[in-house]
Amino acid sequence: MKNLPFALLVVILVAGGYIYYDSARENHRGSVDKNFRDSVETVLVENPEILVKAMQTYQEKMRQNQLDQFKNAVNENHDNLKLADSPSFGNPNGDIVLVEFMDYLCGHCRQVAPIVEQLTKENPSLKVVVKLLPIFGPQSTVFAKAGQAAAQQGKFSAFHELLLSKVNPKMTREELIAVAKEAGLNLQAFEKVIDAETDPLLEENKQLAQKLGIRGTPFFIFLSQPYNPQKTEVMAGSGTKESFEEKIKQTK
């Protein structure tokens, strides 16, 4: 019975259910019920892959349900995305918008960054909108403010790429300012932004993430332009280049 197909288990379960029902009419429920349990137990013991397959199917179903919930939340809060207010790069008039919620101290965000950059080069119709979401404490907030400061000076793309390549939890203020200088930013204006007590856009990003149910970074939203809710796609966590390409294809 080592190669017993899944369909045969279904037959056994159905047949067992019928026997169980029929036995009740003959007042033999106890013995037949035990036989049924023993039969199922034997099948599962000799074919543990059935349990593995069932668990995989369940996990995939739960994952898809979660993605559907994310997509519904995105469509319900589409007006709150405020894409025009956020830093961006790529084609400003692209018909596909990739929205990324990210933290500069997020390892997965840094790992996936080269893929996102490559996608913008290979897809001239792609616009990437960055929602800076500092979730790793005060240092993350400083880096997020730095990104906002670069965006205010119209040099987000250059600064973003440089910071991703150099950032680390022990980066000093002087090192951060050096990155800003290398990206060609006005340092006085830059320091004013990173020293501000709060940043309204960062607060809005946090509130938006809560509404969407986002609990970690990176998180990606794929939107068509003009906006079509039926084309909305999402991706939680990092992914392969192929997985991004598939999402972009589905969004077109």
For the cut 60, the answer to whether the pLDDT of residue 110 exceeds it is yes
Residue type (1 letter), 205: N
Residue type (1 letter), 76: E
Distance linking the first and last C-alpha atoms of the chain: 48
**133: nearest Cα among 19, 32, 209, 33:** 209
HEC-encoded secondary structure of 6-51: HHHHHHHHHHHHHHHHHHHHCCCHHHHHHHHHHHHHHHHHHCCHHH
Cα distance between residue 179 and residue 50, in whole Å: 55
Reported as a pLDDT band with limits 50, 70 and 90, residue 49 is confident
For the cut 90, the answer to whether the pLDDT of residue 22 exceeds it is no
Residue type (1 letter), 192: K
For the cut 60, the answer to whether the pLDDT of residue 196 exceeds it is yes
Reported as a pLDDT band with limits 50, 70 and 90, residue 26 is low
For the cut 80, the answer to whether the pLDDT of residue 18 exceeds it is no
Domains of the chain by start residue, with CATH: 6-75 (no CATH), 79-251 (3.40.30.10)
For the cut 50, the answer to whether the pLDDT of residue 39 exceeds it is yes
For the cut 70, the answer to whether the pLDDT of residue 181 exceeds it is yes
Report the pLDDT averaged over residues 58-85. 85
Mean pLDDT of the chain: 87
Residue 90 pairs with which residues in a beta bridge?
127
Comparing 21 with 62, the larger pLDDT belongs to 62
pLDDT at 25: 52
Burial (CB count <10 Å: 0-12, 13-18, 19+), residue 17: exposed
For the cut 70, the answer to whether the pLDDT of residue 19 exceeds it is no
Q: Which position has the token pair 């400061």?
A: 149
* 3-state DSSP assignment of residue 203: helix
CB 212 within 8 A of CB 70: yes
The vertex-59 CA angle with 55 and 62, nearest 5°, equals: 140
CA distances from 101 to 47, 158, 224 (A): 43, 18, 18
pLDDT at 56: 74
pLDDT at 170: 95
pLDDT at 48: 77
Q: Which residues contact residue 227 at a Cβ distance below 8 angstroms, ignoring those fewer than 6 apart?
A: 78
Q: Could you tell me the pTM of the whole model? A: 0.78
Burial (CB count <10 Å: 0-12, 13-18, 19+), residue 19: middle
CB 233 within 8 A of CB 250: yes
For the cut 70, the answer to whether the pLDDT of residue 131 exceeds it is yes
pLDDT at 169: 94
Reported as a pLDDT band with limits 50, 70 and 90, residue 66 is confident
Report the pLDDT averaged over residues 216-234. 96
